[in-house]
Amino acid sequence: MKYVKPKKEELKKRLSPIQYRVTQEDDTEPPFQNEYWDNEKPGIYVDIVTGQPLFTSLDKFDAGCGWPSFTKPVDDDLITEKEDTSLNRVRTEVRSKLGDSHLGHVFEDGPEPTGLRYCINSAAVKFIPMEDLKKEGYGDYLKLFDKQHQIYNP
């Protein structure tokens, strides 16, 4: 699958106002009032702009912060990090590499094994349920869930 960032005009038509503000203008959606903060279904989260896979439900946890939180991305090479000094403090912003979408921030207060908490705006991602992965063109990611299933159900 080829992941390409659409032109600004197309993004304005395709994305909702909050999705556009979050991904293109570095905004943040309200906690506990977003689509995926409490989603517990198995699947993957892809960049709303390009469709590139970013996170899986296997690495999602309830951080109690009101946004979807993950211990790690699907692949470190799919995201970029940069210093964010807004709000008069230093944070690490997380962006999608190909789409250059603002996703959220990463903090060092997460659970093991990484100790990281990728705090991600729901408006920056689209959830693809495990049962739809093949149909939506993400069939290669099914193997991640097969491994997890075997670990817990030998």
pLDDT over 70 at 149, yes or no: no
Query: Is the pLDDT at 61 greater than 60, yes or no?
Result: yes
Position 59 scores a pLDDT of 96
Higher pLDDT, 19 or 88: 19
- For the chain, domains (ranges, CATH) are 8-152 (2.170.150.20)
Q: Looking at the predicted structure, is the pLDDT value of residue 153 above 60?
A: no
Of the candidates 48, 78, 79, 119, the residue annotated as catalytic is 119
d(CA 6, CA 141): 24
Kindly state the average pLDDT of the residues 119-136.
Answer: 97
Instruction: Please give the model's pTM, rounded to 2 decimal places.
Output: 0.92
Is residue 65 among the annotated active site residues?
no
